[in-house]
């Protein structure tokens, strides 16, 4: 199993909390939770097996406005999105 648990704090005090697990069977579980300095959600990508109504199930994105369909993401994808917020 490969495990990545990390937290990155950016210059504006926003934070990215990373949980990325790849199992021996090559299955993968992840959560990339990005929040502002006040701990308010900006977005979170994960592949928890809920929100089965979404076309991209189990992949989805949490936003301040609700949950939306999303493709599977990597840490690189998430960092690119965060950079676009600055």
pLDDT digit string, tens, across residues 50-67: 999 999 999 999 999 999
Residue 26 has pLDDT above 80, yes or no: no
Residue 1 has pLDDT above 90, yes or no: no
* Residue in 64, 33, 65, 36 with CA at minimum distance from that of residue 48: 33
Q: Where are the beta strands (DSSP E) in 28-79?
A: 28-35, 41-46, 60-63, 66-69
pLDDT of residue 59: 98
> Do residues 1 and 58 make contact, with C-beta atoms less than 8 angstroms apart?
no
pLDDT over 70, % of the chain: 100
Average model confidence (pLDDT) across the chain: 96
Contacts of 61 by beta carbon, 8 Å cutoff, 6+ apart = 43, 44, 45, 67, 68, 69, 70
Angle ∠(28,30,32) on CA atoms, nearest 5: 155
Domain boundaries, the chain: 2-85
Distance of CA 76 to the CA centre of its chain: 11
pLDDT of residue 46: 98
pLDDT of residue 24: 81
């Amino acid at each position: 199993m490969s495990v990545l648990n990390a937290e990155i704090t950016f210059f504006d005090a926003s934070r990215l909390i990373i949980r990325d697990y790849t199992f021996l069977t090559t299955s993968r579980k992840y959560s990339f939770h990005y929040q502002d300095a006040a701990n308010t959600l900006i977005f979170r990508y994960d592949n928890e097996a809920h929100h089965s109504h979404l076309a991209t199930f189990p992949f989805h994105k949490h936003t301040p406005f609700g949950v939306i369909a999303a493709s599977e993401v990597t840490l690189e994808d998430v960092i690119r999105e965060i950079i676009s917020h600055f």
